[in-house]
Structure 1
Amino acid sequence: MKMNQYTLTLLTAILLLFAGCSSDEDFLNEEAKSFLTTENAYLNKSQFEMAIGTLHRNVQTFYNAGDGEGDIFPLGLGTDVCFSPRDDQKVFNDWSQVNEFESLSSRWYSWQYGIIKVANTIIEGVEREEVKWNGDEEKNAIAAEARFFRAFAYRNLAHLYGGVPLVDAPVNEPKVDFTRTPRETIWQFAKTDLEFASTHLPIKTAIPGRIVRAAADHLLAEINICLKDYDGAITAASRVIDGEDGDYQLMTSRFGARASEVGKNVYWDLFRIGNQQYQEGNKEAIWVAQMEYNTPGGTVNYGRPLIERIMHPSWWRLTKAGYSGVAQDSTGRGVAFVRPTNYTNYKIWKNAAQDIRNSETCIKRKFYFAGDAGEGAKLGYQAGDLIPESFLTSLEDTMQLIYPVWWKFGTDKHLDAKPDNGYVRDFYVIRLAETYLLRAEAYFGKGDKDKAAADINTVRARSSATLIESADVTLDYILDERARELFGEEYRTLTLCRLNLLYERTKSYGHLAAQKTVSPHNNLFPIPQSVIDRNTGAVLEQNPGY
Structure 2
Amino acid sequence: MKLYKNIMISATAGMLLLSSCKDDAFLKENLRDRLSTETAYTNKAQFDALSANMYRTIQLFYNTADLNHEAFILGQGTDVCFDPRDDAAKYNNWGLVNSREPFSEDWFNLQYSIIKDANTLIENALKPDVLWVNETQKNETLAEGYFFRGFAYRNLANMYGGVPIVDKPVKEAKIDFVRNTREEVWIFAKRDLEFARTNLPLTTTSPGRVVRAAADHVLAEVNICLKDYDGAIAAATRVIDGTDGAYSLVNARFGARSTEADKNYYYDLFVMGNQNRQTGNNEGIFVAQFEQSSTGAVVIGGTQFAGRPLIERMMWCNYWGLIKAGYTNVAQDSTGRGVAYCRPTNYTNYTIWRNSGTDIRNNETNIKRKYYFAANVGTFRKGDVIPKSFLTTRDDTMLYVYPNWAKFGTDKHIAQKPDNGYVRDFYVIRLPETYFLRAEAYLGKSRADLAADDLNVVRRRAQAPLVAAANVDIDYILDERARELYGEEFRMMTLTRLGKLYERTKKYGYERSQESVQSFNNLLPIPQNAIDRNVGAQMPNNTGY
Q: TM-score, normalised by structure 2?
A: 0.93
Whole-angstrom CA distance in 2 between matches of 1:344 and 1:545: 29
Q: Which residue of 2 aligns with 1:195?
A: 194
Q: CA deviation at 1:297?
A: 6.0
Q: Which residue of 1 aligns with 2:516?
A: 517
Instruction: Judging by fraction of residues, say which structure has more helix.
Output: 1
Whole-angstrom CA distance in 1 between matches of 2:29 and 2:423: 48
Q: Which residue of 2 aligns with 1:183?
A: 182
Task: Tell me which moved more, 271-280 or 291-300.
Answer: 291-300
Q: Which residue of 2 aligns with 1:83?
A: 82
Whole-angstrom CA distance in 2 between matches of 1:315 and 1:33: 62
Q: Which residue of 2 aligns with 1:21?
A: none
Q: CA deviation at 1:29?
A: 6.8
* Residues 273 and 291, structure 2, Cα contact 8 Å, conserved in 1: no
* Residues 353 and 359, structure 1, Cα contact 8 Å, conserved in 2: no
Specify which of 346, 354, 362 is matched with residue 342 of structure 1.
Answer: 346
* Residues 68-467 of structure 1: pairs in structure 2 closer than 5 A: 68-293=67-292, 298-370=302-374, 372-373=375-376, 377-378=377-378, 380-467=379-466
Q: CA deviation at 1:131?
A: 1.0
Whole-angstrom CA distance in 2 between matches of 1:136 and 1:174: 34
Size of the aligned set, in residue pairs, is: 514
Q: Name the CA shift for 1:294/1:308 in 2 (closer, same or farther; >3 Å).
A: same
Q: Secondary structure at the match of 1:450?
A: helix
Q: CA deviation at 1:265?
A: 1.1
Whole-angstrom CA distance in 2 between matches of 1:431 and 1:329: 28
Whole-angstrom CA distance in 2 between matches of 1:545 and 1:421: 41
Q: Percent identity?
A: 60
Q: Secondary structure at the match of 1:69?
A: coil
Whole-angstrom CA distance in 2 between matches of 1:278 and 1:507: 39
Whole-angstrom CA distance in 2 between matches of 1:129 and 1:202: 23
Q: CA deviation at 1:393?
A: 1.2
Whole-angstrom CA distance in 2 between matches of 1:466 and 1:36: 61
* Residues 83 and 511, structure 1, Cα contact 8 Å, conserved in 2: yes
* Residues 317 and 399, structure 2, Cα contact 8 Å, conserved in 1: yes
Structure 1, gaps ≥5 residues long: 1-27
Whole-angstrom CA distance in 2 between matches of 1:519 and 1:498: 16
Q: CA RMSD for the aligned pairs?
A: 1.0
Q: CA deviation at 1:127?
A: 1.0
Higher CA-based Rg: 1
Q: CA deviation at 1:353?
A: 3.4
In the alignment, residue 349 of structure 1 is paired with which amino acid?
A: W
Report Cα offsets for 1:335-388 as digits up to 9, x if no partner.
000000000000000011310000000000011111x23xxx22x100011111
Q: CA deviation at 1:134?
A: 1.3
Whole-angstrom CA distance in 1 between matches of 2:255 and 2:28: 62
Q: CA deviation at 1:31?
A: 2.0
Q: Which residue of 2 aligns with 1:542?
A: 541
Whole-angstrom CA distance in 2 between matches of 1:116 and 1:243: 30
Report Cα offsets for 1:176-229 as digits up to 9, x if no partner.
000100000100000000000001000000000000000000000000000000
In the alignment, residue 403 of structure 2 is paired with which amino acid?
A: P
Whole-angstrom CA distance in 2 between matches of 1:103 and 1:294: 31
Q: CA deviation at 1:263?
A: 1.9
Task: Tell me which moved more, 382-391 or 235-244.
Answer: 382-391
Q: Which residue of 1 aligns with 2:488?
A: 489
Q: Which residue of 2 aligns with 1:3?
A: none
* Residues 289 and 301, structure 2, Cα contact 8 Å, conserved in 1: no
Structure 2, gaps ≥5 residues long: 1-26, 295-299
In the alignment, residue 300 of structure 1 is paired with which amino acid?
A: Q
Report Cα offsets for 1:275-318 as digits up to 9, x if no partner.
00112210011000000226596101111000000000000001
Q: Which residue of 2 aligns with 1:54?
A: 53
Q: CA deviation at 1:30?
A: 4.5
* Residues 275 and 284, structure 2, Cα contact 8 Å, conserved in 1: yes
Q: Which residue of 1 aligns with 2:497?
A: 498
In the alignment, residue 451 of structure 1 is paired with which amino acid?
A: L
Q: CA deviation at 1:34?
A: 2.2
Q: CA deviation at 1:130?
A: 1.6
* Residues 294 and 303, structure 1, Cα contact 8 Å, conserved in 2: no
Which 4+ stretches in 1 moved above 3 angstroms? 294-297
Q: CA deviation at 1:129?
A: 1.6
Whole-angstrom CA distance in 2 between matches of 1:233 and 1:413: 41
Task: Tell me which moved more, 496-505 or 297-306.
Answer: 297-306
